[in-house]
Chains A and B, each alone.
Chain A
Amino acid sequence: MLDNESVVAMIKESFKQDTQAIHVSSKHSPSAIRSRLARRRLSRGIIGVGVAGAMAIAIFTLGTTTSGPSASFKTIHLSNYTFKVRSDVATSTTCLTAPDNWVAGSSVASARVTVSSFLRLNRPDGSLRTGANGQACIGAVLTYTTQVPAPIDTVTSPGLPTVKLAPSTDDARVAYIALDAGDSAAAARVTGGPAGVPYYVIGEVPSDNAQDVLVAIFQQGDMAQLLSIHD
């Protein structure tokens, strides 16, 4: 007699037999998971390639250029360091000042950027939020190096937004991408750097929360993963 109870018993026995020899492999070790998590985080954030002898810090930010006071950006906390961000409307540049306790050659771990006043790039209706001058500022890359900065180029890639690198007084260089309303960026290849090694500025717009900004640290030999900037 094959009643429902018998079928259930057979199902349970089948499940038991089908799984009793299953054990996890080493690729599910905690360290493997952490490694994969780190790679995933990097792939979802700004990706850059460190140049020879330098430590590159790639920071992806969202904000708008405004005609008012430089209040779009506040501060960025990285481990024990606090980077102050200022937006110079007159020159359309965004700069990050080095922290007071920064030591050349120091490194910081990936950390959440807490910027309370970031504006969301997208309005609820999906349109691109723009500043008073009609432009949105998207993306910033900062490179600290112990070497003498090399000349910085301005690069215009066909089909891509213009990327400008502007030196600051803090031995830091900032790249920003100015997008017109409705633009989307795929990638920006930036040349230059102490050794003339090209590096890339790639970003992915956080889906719904501009405060979820990823900071990634790249050193020489790191690989860049190309992602699309999309809104």
Chain B
Amino acid sequence: MGLARPGPEFDEFVRASSTDLLRIATLLTRNREDAEDLLQVALVRTAGRWAAAKDAPFAYSRRVIINLSKNRWREKSRRPHIVGDLSHVASHGAATTEWVDEQNAMSELISKLPLGQRKVLVLRYFEDLSVAETASILHCSEGTVKSQLSRPIARLRSLLLAQCPAPAEETNKC
């Protein structure tokens, strides 16, 4: 059970990394409350396994979050439907109604992707991990990562195009 008590370095890790970990959890769960719970469980597990995690605690916690997000989904027996709260972008300097609408639309589309694809997107495009690193975390091949990337991108592209009327039919937005 790894009962060694984590030392001050654990406290420093929590203070330094919690926000980044919470953001990952939020992108995966699309629900702030679930993300908070997920983060706390991940941090508790990391503390409980500090001897094993101390060399790379962020990676360890991130892996816990990735793994547990699937369980969280199963527990709820449904896909999370809450779209990320974008109210905070209202003060964005360049924000316009269209810009906010676009961001909202993209956020909602991403939330509809299967969790597996969203994991890959988060690791690749939020964490900026390489394909190899992503594959390592997800315990899959690099080919699987690539396919898991291409599918949602293609899907999002098609959905975005579907939302945007063809130029011949309409002359705005996209």
Are B3's CB and A41's CB within 8 A? yes
Which residues of B lie under 8 Å from residue A15 when comparing CB positions?
27, 121-122, 125-126
Are A27's CB and B125's CB within 8 A? no
Q: From residue B85, how far is it (CB to closest CB) to chain A in Å?
A: 8
Which residues of B lie under 8 Å from residue A25 when comparing CB positions?
36
DSSP class of A's interface residues: helix, strand, loop or mixed?
helix
Which residues 128-148 in A have Cβ within 8 Å of B in the complex? none
Cβ-closest chain B residue relative to A40: B44
**What count of chain A residues pass the 8 Å CB interface test?**
40
**Quick one: which of A14, A18, A32, A112 contacts B3, CB cutoff 8 A?**
A112
DSSP class of B's interface residues: helix, strand, loop or mixed?
helix
Which residues of B lie under 8 Å from residue A28 when comparing CB positions?
14, 18, 22, 36, 39-40, 43
Q: How far is the CA of A33 from the CA of B53 in the complex (A)?
A: 15
Given contacts A11-B156, A14-B103, A15-B122, contact A111 B26 (CB under 8 A): no
Q: How far is the CA of A214 from the CA of B48 in the complex (A)?
A: 13
> 0/1 per residue, A91-133, Cβ < 8 Å to B?
0000000000000000000111000000000000000000000
Q: From residue A206, how far is it (CB to closest CB) to chain B in Å?
A: 7
Are B86's CB and A18's CB within 8 A? yes
Number of CB contacts from chain A to chain B under 8 A:
113
Are A36's CB and B44's CB within 8 A? yes
Counting CB contacts under 8 A, is A30 at the interface? yes
Stretch of A1-9, A48-56, A150-158 with 4 or more beta carbons under 8 angstroms from chain B: A1-9
Q: From residue B147, how far is it (CB to closest CB) to chain A in Å?
A: 14
Which residues of B lie under 8 Å from residue A90 when comparing CB positions?
none
Cβ-closest chain A residue relative to B110: A14
Which residues 1-19 in B have Cβ within 8 Å of A in the complex? 1, 3-4, 6, 10-11, 14-15, 18-19
Which residues of B lie under 8 Å from residue A44 when comparing CB positions?
1
Which residues of B lie under 8 Å from residue A41 when comparing CB positions?
1, 3, 48
Given contacts A7-B156, A29-B14, A212-B1, contact A22 B106 (CB under 8 A): no
Q: From residue B71, how far is it (CB to closest CB) to chain A in Å?
A: 16
B residues lining the A interface (CB < 8 Å): 1, 3-4, 6, 10-11, 14-15, 18-19, 22-23, 26-27, 32, 36, 39-40, 43-44, 47-48, 84, 86, 88-89, 92, 102-103, 106-107, 110, 121-122, 125-126, 153-154, 156-157, 160-161, 164, 174
Please list 11 pairs of residues, one from A and one from B, whose beta carbons are closer than 8 Å in the complex, sorted by A's number. Answer: A7-B153, A7-B160, A17-B92, A17-B107, A22-B23, A24-B22, A27-B40, A28-B39, A33-B10, A33-B40, A33-B44
